[in-house]
A and B are shown apart, each in its own frame.
Chain A
Amino acid sequence: MKDHIPTRMGDGELVSMSAAEVKDDILAGTRDAAKRANIPELTKDDAQQLLGIMAEPSRAVSVAPGEEVIVTDDGCSMSFYAGQDSGGIGIPMSRLQAILTYERACAADTTSMGHSDYSFKPVKSIINFEMNAYYTASMMTTAPLFYGAQPNLGLYFQPDGPHPNPADLLPQRKIKEARATQEAAAEQLREDLVFVGKKLNHIGCEGLNFDTCGSAGDADFLAALLAVADLKKATPNMPVIMGASGEFVLGMHGELTFDEKQIAGMYPHEQAKVAEAAGVNIFGVAIGTNTTKSVVWNVARTATFVKATVAVANIPIHVNVGMGVGGVPMLEVPPIDSVTRASKTLVQIGKADGL
């Protein structure tokens, strides 16, 4: 093994590290995750394997034959026609063309579609349009077709929505009012998620993706959990993916619970268990990338969270590995060397069921 291993920082900068420095960053990354979430560190064998993955001379790396996993997505087909702000490449093609291209040209294990805004709130008012588009696509796709969007509780607060904004109330020390408005908004969000879910189930939806849950904190996460539980009663044959927005649920409310467990402060291994209790079919773990640390540090840290989550979950665990999560650098054009090393590590060391 050569002693100058090319890798990157979390912001994508290409750097060179010695084998000793890589080992140090693996140890520091796994210790950081273990300490924060009170979970086991990676083993010495894991660390040695990770060193090997980082030191592979090839630009792109891959898992060993037989260790492949399922790759789901969060609106990847939209990247074909969307703009730069969505990581899109702006090809003038329809949603249906993009979905079929992703399935057949890219050989994706699953595919998906969604509204360009990618939040459930705007979908509600155009649900009939979306139902028609989904139905047409589902007649043509062979791989599982998901409909995805984000709960995005933030859209329910002023000035975008009807409810007073907790971000305005909290600085005024109006804690009680801030909690009340989040509870009211979360209930409205829950109703909208269930409304959209039932409508899509009516036209044979093969799977719903609640993407980036908890982005506005614990009330956002709770609304998604409650909506999943509602849908599992009303539409038991429609699978639901629930993806998290971060490694730690922010306590914007602080006192909300699900299944008698406090949601604020939940780490991935705890998030997955409440998702499982709600009836979720696949849970997506999201670990933020620290741009000031190396990819080695970030990937080791992510693998630690993932391995602990997979160990306790009875449902498939897929890892979010887009730009800025899962050890992938926070860069508009994520470098292939780092993406594939994160990919291989999270499958072979994290034991993820999918990405």
Chain B
Amino acid sequence: MHIAHIVASGMGGIRTAGDLVAWMQITHKMKITEAKQYVADKLGIEVIDLTNEEIMRQIREERGIGVITAIAGDPKGIRAKFKIAELLNIHINSVDLFKSQMAYSG
């Protein structure tokens, strides 16, 4: 049933920019319109392209924020979230913990 909602109304997760917009709702309590605009501005694209696979696939690979297909050695998981936190200028709890364990000062 969740899959029906994902297909009917969802943003597409890491296929597109769904996770990025979700991060803004979660960390900054942004309503959907504001969250989309914020992410689009950070990526330098139009809001309509946030769910455009043809645009977002390339952006995700170029920025190292994780693509949905399995590319050996390409950032995913905490490595991708590290870059997402920087891209969106947000605190992600798991990334902050990771940084502290790596003695990362950035």
Same assembly? yes
Chain A residues in contact with chain B, CB under 8 A?
60-63, 65-66, 68-73, 76, 79, 87, 102-104, 106-110, 138-145, 201, 203-207, 237-239, 281-282, 314-316, 321-323, 328, 334, 336, 339-340, 343-344, 347, 352-355
Cβ of B59 within 8 Å of any chain A Cβ, yes or no, is no
Residues in B whose Cβ lies below 8 Å from that of A315: 29, 31
Task: Give min CB distance, B78 to chain A, whole Å.
Answer: 5
Residues in B whose Cβ lies below 8 Å from that of A314: 29
| Majority-rule SS of B interface residues | helix
18 contacts between A and B (CB under 8 A): A62-B9, A68-B9, A87-B1, A107-B6, A109-B10, A109-B19, A110-B19, A138-B94, A142-B19, A142-B66, A143-B19, A145-B94, A203-B97, A204-B95, A206-B93, A316-B29, A343-B8, A354-B25
CB <8 Å contact, A316 and B32: yes
CB <8 Å contact, A109 and B11: yes
CB <8 Å contact, B80 and A142: yes
- Quick one: closest A residue to B68, CB to CB? A104
| Majority-rule SS of A interface residues | loop
CB <8 Å contact, B5 and A321: yes
Residues A107 and B25 in contact in the complex (CB < 8 Å), given A60-B7, A206-B93, A237-B96:
no
CB <8 Å contact, B14 and A339: no
Task: Give min CB distance, A342 to chain B, whole Å.
Answer: 9
CB <8 Å contact, A204 and B9: no
Cβ of B76 within 8 Å of any chain A Cβ, yes or no, is yes
- Quick one: closest B residue to A105, CB to CB? B68
Residues in A whose Cβ lies below 8 Å from that of B27: 239, 281
- Quick one: closest B residue to A203, CB to CB? B97
Separation of A118 and B18 alpha carbons in the complex (Å): 26
Task: Give min CB distance, A273 to chain B, whole Å.
Answer: 14
CB <8 Å contact, B26 and A343: no
Separation of A65 and B8 alpha carbons in the complex (Å): 10
Cβ of B30 within 8 Å of any chain A Cβ, yes or no, is yes
CB <8 Å contact, A107 and B4: no
CB <8 Å contact, A103 and B14: yes
Separation of A180 and B8 alpha carbons in the complex (Å): 46
CB <8 Å contact, A141 and B51: no
Residues A108 and B8 in contact in the complex (CB < 8 Å), given A71-B2, A138-B94, A334-B1:
no
Residues in B whose Cβ lies below 8 Å from that of A60: 4, 7-8
CB <8 Å contact, A63 and B8: yes
CB <8 Å contact, B25 and A108: no
Residues A143 and B26 in contact in the complex (CB < 8 Å), given A108-B6, A336-B4:
no
Residue picked from B7, B65, B66, most chain A C-beta under 10 Å: B7
Residues A144 and B9 in contact in the complex (CB < 8 Å), given A70-B32, A107-B68:
no
CB <8 Å contact, B25 and A353: yes
Separation of A207 and B51 alpha carbons in the complex (Å): 24
Residues in B whose Cβ lies below 8 Å from that of A206: 26, 92-94
CB <8 Å contact, A143 and B18: yes
Residue from A109, A201, A282 in contact with B18 in the complex, judged by beta carbons closer than 8 Å: A109
CB <8 Å contact, A140 and B76: yes
Residues in B whose Cβ lies below 8 Å from that of A63: 8-9
CB <8 Å contact, B76 and A142: yes
CB <8 Å contact, A239 and B77: no
The 3 A-B pairs of least Cβ separation, nearest first, read A204-B97, A109-B18, A204-B94
Residues A142 and B31 in contact in the complex (CB < 8 Å), given A108-B13, A339-B1:
no
Residues in B whose Cβ lies below 8 Å from that of A144: 19, 22-23, 26
Residue picked from B14, B84, B95, most chain A C-beta under 10 Å: B14
CB <8 Å contact, B93 and A204: yes
Separation of A218 and B25 alpha carbons in the complex (Å): 27
Residue picked from B2, B15, B76, B91, most chain A C-beta under 10 Å: B2
